[in-house]
Amino acid sequence: MNDLVTNIRMLSVDMIAKANSGHPGLPLGAAPAATALFANHLKVNPVNPNWMNRDRFILSAGHGSALLYSLLYCFGYPLTKKDLQNFRQLDSKTPGHPEIEMTEGVDISSGPLGQGIASAVGMAMAEAHLASEYNRDKFSIIDHYTYCLVGDGCLMEGISSEAMSVAGNLKLNKLIVLYDSNDITLDGNLDYSSKDDVEKRCEAYHWDYILVEDGNNLDKISEAISSAKKTEKPVLIEIKSVIGFGSLEAGTSKVHGNPIVGDDLKNLKEFYNWTLEDFELSNSVKNFQKEYLKRGQTFETSWLDSVASYQEKYPEMYRQLMKDFSGNYFDEVKNMANPFGGQNKLSTREASGIVLNQLAEKLPLFGGSADLASSNKTYLNGKGDFSDKSYQGSNIWFGIREFFMGAAMNGISLHGGLISFGATFFVFSDYLKSAIRSAALMKLPVIYVMTHDSVAVGEDGPTHQPIEQLAGFRATPNLRVFRPADANETFSVYQYILEKPEMPSMVVLSRQDLPNVTPLNSPIKNGAYILKDSSRKPDLILVATGSEVSLALEIESKMPSKSIRVVSMPSQEIFSQQSDEYKESVLPRDILSFSIECGSTYGWHEYVDYCFGIDSFGKSAPATELVDDYRFTSDALVEDIYKILKGLPK
């Protein structure tokens, strides 16, 4: 086993040296901990890295990616020597931080410190929920652990506190965190910035804590993991290691992110008495790998045998489980009926709540709100609460922890078998922005429900009134942002999202009631469409989103002398992806156009000639006074449009 640890260490430093880029400190220090986990505890099948019931492993300290790639290579995952040699190179399977789309065996794209442990909690939540839903009698169809390797940086990020608080409250006893505790950060000694008592912190968060004082003692590390499996709480195992162990700069910040090359690398290999060529595996490791692959196949084969018996006894549950893990809900969603046929006026947040409950009757929704479910309208009636008393409930109480909520949603989605959603006020989306970005990077089909979408929030004032958020999220690649005009569009948006679960989606909703002005099955698939047209070529076009769509229709009715087209644009991004022909048919370039949206005008100039919006922070006042103050009434906008028209050359 020691030979395996050394081989993993040497592969890691070889990768970093060849790239002349990377972080050798963590691989050299944490290799024994990771090896003990992989070799003695991890239930996986490297031949089928995505096996449904495998244990999950999250390298939260993603800068130590060389360690993960070395582990995958040594344990028989589909990585080659050439892949290791291409570490951190263009389009390689071994990027600088782990990416699920690039490397088989990677369970999450980890990079931003702290998100890994929070997503691990989400994965453990998903495992607990699905196990309670599907396991029966002697059939433990869903039965696996979630392991996470963290460093000091992960535990200093505030999201780790949010995550540990939730995990402890839920008693997620199949969550085990290995803490590579080396007392060093990139800039220097840990005690310059943190003197936390980790054991007391675990106690406060209702976690069990185990200390391994020698990070090179494989037996002690393995014993600690075995003990962690016997508790009724999540467990953090603090493993005292030496960063860059064996290098000339061991135990200092200098080895954190600086490649070990030249004579320093030669000295390191002499320290380990390592004589093999770069990127080579020892014979003992090759033999171990063969046995490990057999063990992995045995794990999955045994599970498949159990599943076959389960299928015979519980055929409908088996069918549903396989359906949920397929992630394909097209048929169920396509045939849904719009419940708003006779609805005249409704806030889009209320419409969203109705649709979510409609979906929950057919689909495995699992989510909640950052302590705003009653306001976001996200509670799933009759579906129970997910708690330490019952993991079967579908409503998650995230608490006032927006960032954790976002990262946990990612973990839930990555686990598979569930549709992950989370909600808060739109202005507080800033708190979970980094997790949203991670979801977009991984193209996870999570759903963000964002309510209170404009200054119409009113008296709560500028701290609660979103201005720049729409523009910011619209600029995020792989994120679909929808601002539906009414209940009908809200229904159509959810239908579209679940028919095409290709990436994260954000649904931005109103608090105030809005008239139902769009078609029963709104044609939102192209991002924008002509809602009302004139009998002749338009003199001008009004483009609006959300609550401003009905406002645009009011404006059109008050300008009878003009031929006006009204366009609803629930999604800028989807509209931008359409053909030039379609875009020209909706927004001809030779016709004067105006956008109307109660937020930043940034980005609108790509579509229209003139923008009506709000490019300053809001004010505290009743909503009716605010829309007057910002001239977001039909009378004021008609006046402003005529002023622009009057000033144009004849």
Catalytic residue positions?
402
* Side-by-side strand order, sheet with 447-451: 385-386, 395-397, 365-369, 419-425, 447-451, 505-508, 480-482
N- to C-terminal Cα separation, the chain = 85
**Cβ atoms 376, 388 nearer than 8 A:** no
Dump strand ranges (E) for 318-435: 345-347, 365-369, 385-386, 395-397, 419-425
In 3-state terms, what secondary structure has residue 132? Answer: helix
534 Ramachandran zone, left/alpha/beta (phi>0; psi -120 to 50): beta
Which DSSP category does 94 fall into? S
Alpha carbons 544 and 553: distance in angstroms, whole number: 10
Which DSSP category does 544 fall into? E
Alpha helices per DSSP H over 62-112: 65-74, 81-85
Other beta carbons within 10 Å of 584: 12
| Residues comprising the chain, all counted | 650
In the block, residue with structure tokens 């320093």: 264
Nearest to 575 by CA among 604, 597, 554: 604
Other beta carbons within 10 Å of 314: 17
HEC profile for 408-437?
HHHHHHHHCCCEEEEEEEHHHHHHHHHHHH
**Cβ atoms 517, 486 nearer than 8 A:** yes
**Cβ atoms 376, 451 nearer than 8 A:** yes
DSSP string, 211-236: EES-TT-HHHHHHHHHHHTTSSS-EE
Judging by beta carbons within 10 Å of its beta carbon (0-12, 13-18, 19+), is residue 113 exposed, middle or buried? buried
| 76 DSSP β-pair partners | none
**Rounded to the nearest 5°, which phi and psi values hold at 542?**
-110, 120
Q: What tokens appear for 536 in the block?
A: 């002749």
Alpha carbons 323 and 305: distance in angstroms, whole number: 19
Alpha carbons 539 and 565: distance in angstroms, whole number: 8
313 Ramachandran zone, left/alpha/beta (phi>0; psi -120 to 50): alpha
Q: What tokens appear for 16 in the block?
A: 């970093």
**Cβ atoms 572, 602 nearer than 8 A:** no
Angle at 231 between CA 229 and CA 236, to 5 degrees: 75
Cβ contacts of 304 within 8 Å, gap of 6 or more: none
Other beta carbons within 10 Å of 307: 17
Alpha carbons 191 and 624: distance in angstroms, whole number: 53
Angle at 482 between CA 476 and CA 486, to 5 degrees: 165
In 3-state terms, what secondary structure has residue 367? Answer: strand
**Cβ atoms 411, 366 nearer than 8 A:** no
Alpha carbons 565 and 534: distance in angstroms, whole number: 6
